[in-house]
Chains A and B, each alone.
Chain A
Amino acid sequence: MVKEINDSIFDEEIKASGEPVIVDFWAPWCGPCKMLGPVIEEVSEELQGKAKFTKVNVDDNPGVASKFGIASIPTVMIFKDGNPVDTLVGFRPKQSITAAIEKHI
Chain B
Amino acid sequence: MERYDIAIIGSGPAGLASAINAKTRNRKVIVFGSSDLSKKLTLAPKIDNYLGFYGIKGAELRDKFKEHIDNMGIQIENVKVNNIYAMGEYFSIMTSGDTYEATKVILAMGMEHTKPLNGEDKFLGRGVGYCATCDAPLYKNKVVTIVGYNKEAESEANYLSELASKVYYVPMYRDDYELTQEVELVKDTPVEIVGQNKVEKLKLKLRELETDGVFVLKDSAPPEQLVPGLEVEDGHIKVNRKMETNIEGCYAAGDCTGRPYQYMKSVGEGQVAALNAVEKLYTK
Going nearest first, the 3 A-B pairs with the smallest beta carbon separation are A89-B125, A93-B86, A91-B228
Task: List residues of chain A with CB under 8 Å of any chain B CB.
Answer: 27, 29-32, 35, 38-39, 42, 58-59, 69-73, 75, 89-96
How long is the Cα–Cα vector from A58 to B139 in the complex, in angstroms?
12
Residues of A contacting B129 in the complex (Cβ-Cβ under 8 angstroms): 71-72
**Structural contact, A93 and B229, CB atoms closer than 8 A:** yes
**Structural contact, B198 and A69, CB atoms closer than 8 A:** yes
B138 on the A face (CB < 8 A): yes
Interface size class of chain B, counting residues whose CB lies under 8 Å from the partner chain: 20 to 34
Task: List residues of chain B with CB under 8 Å of any chain A CB.
Answer: 83, 85-88, 92, 94, 124-127, 129, 134-135, 137-138, 197-199, 212-213, 225, 228-229, 247-248
Could you write out 20 A-B pairs with CB less than 8 Å apart?
A30-B134, A31-B83, A35-B87, A39-B88, A69-B126, A71-B125, A71-B126, A71-B127, A71-B129, A71-B199, A72-B138, A89-B125, A90-B125, A90-B225, A90-B228, A91-B85, A91-B228, A91-B229, A93-B88, A94-B86
How long is the Cα–Cα vector from A72 to B228 in the complex, in angstroms?
14
Residues of B contacting A92 in the complex (Cβ-Cβ under 8 angstroms): 228-229
Residues of B contacting A90 in the complex (Cβ-Cβ under 8 angstroms): 125, 225, 228
**Structural contact, B134 and A32, CB atoms closer than 8 A:** yes
With known contacts A39-B87, A93-B228, A93-B247, A73–B94 Cβ distance under 8 A: no
